[in-house]
Amino acid sequence: MSKKVPKEFKDYLQTLKAKQGNNISLANDFSTICDNKSVSEYEIKDMLKKSISRLAKMQDKLYAHDKYGILIVLQAMDAAGKDGAIKHVMKGLNPQGVKVWSFKSPNSIELDHNYFWRHYSVLPARGEISIFNRSHYENVLVTRVHPEYVVNEKLPGIEKPEDITREFWKARYEQINRFEKNLYENGTIIIKFFLHISKEEQRNRFLERINNPAKNWKFSSADSKERKLWDSYMNVYEEMISATSNEDAPWFIIPADEKWFARFCIASIIVEETKKLNINYPEVDDNKREVLQQIKQELLNE
């Protein structure tokens, strides 16, 4: 039988939550590796199996309860393990109730709408789980590092990158907070993960993709160009997480240098966060129970 997650690790998982209102430092406040080496990799992987099993039970109740939807947001630098986390953590779930959406650069139709538009239609229905592999946060991350992309949005008053002020980004954080608060107040539970990988580990994974012909397709020259902007990305991630982590939609900073540990953290946090919902299978009334017993007897008499 798979090992249960001990309390010490449940407490540790809560330290990964970015506190509301705090100006975080990714380098100083959060590690990219497992801080607790008292438990072996084998034991962690065993606990991951238990968490995946509990996720499957939660999903079944979520669907039957039909009151909440769950939105899981994954953001990270390239090669941090978003795809692998989705593949391994969600493998025990019923695919009918889980949808994964990967957001690339917006197309011309999407650019003719506000930046939330392409996300609205793929939000989770009640009883379902949606996973955003990258998300609406790209509009305060990659566009912050490359402000020329904002010009493509054809916004009033924004004709060139120099027109974009600090107040513009502050307003976007407020828009995102309002968007997520509205979702939360209408039954969508939002859990956001930043996979925190070190620059050295990203280098190692890039080299692996280049050296392994079966992984060459994963690597793009654009990845190398963005790596040169590492410090800029870290700065905008810190500001974005500090501005948008709150009780309605918290950010969790996942140590991602060790894939097995990152997957354990993600699965276990989803379990712990959804436990707060106290969802259960719907109870039937006495009349329904009586009808069920009548049908049962008819079936037994066949």
Q: Which residue shows structure tokens 């990158």? A: 161
Give the pLDDT score at 37.
60
Residue 2 lies in a domain: no
Residue 294 is assigned to a structural domain of this protein: yes
In the sheet with 188-196, reading across from the earlier edge strand, the strands are: 98-102, 129-133, 69-76, 188-196, 251-255
Q: Is residue 103 part of a domain?
A: yes
What is the span of the domain harbouring residue 224?
7-301
Q: What is the pLDDT of residue 8?
A: 78
41-65 helix and 82-89 helix, angle to the nearest 10 degrees: 70
Query: 216: how many CB neighbours lie within 10 A of its CB?
Result: 10
**Terminal-to-terminal C-alpha distance of the chain:** 40
- d(Cα 184, Cα 206) in Å, to the nearest integer? 37
For residue 33, what are its two tokens?
A: 């590796």
Number of folded domains in the chain? 1
- pLDDT for 3 equals 64
Q: Please list the residues that pair with 130 across neighbouring strands.
A: 71, 99
Q: Is residue 171 included in any domain, yes or no?
A: yes
Q: What are phi and psi of 118, to 5 degrees?
A: -75, -10
Q: Can you point out the beta strands (E) in 129-179?
A: 129-133
55 within 8 A of 283, measured Cβ to Cβ: no
pLDDT at residue 282, as a whole number = 87
Assigned token pair, 34: 């497992």
Q: What is the pLDDT of residue 9?
A: 81
In CATH, what number is assigned to the domain containing residue 220? 3.40.50.300
Distance CA 242, CA 20 (A): 7
Residue numbers in the chain where pLDDT is lower than 70: 1-4, 35-37
Q: Is residue 1 part of a domain?
A: no
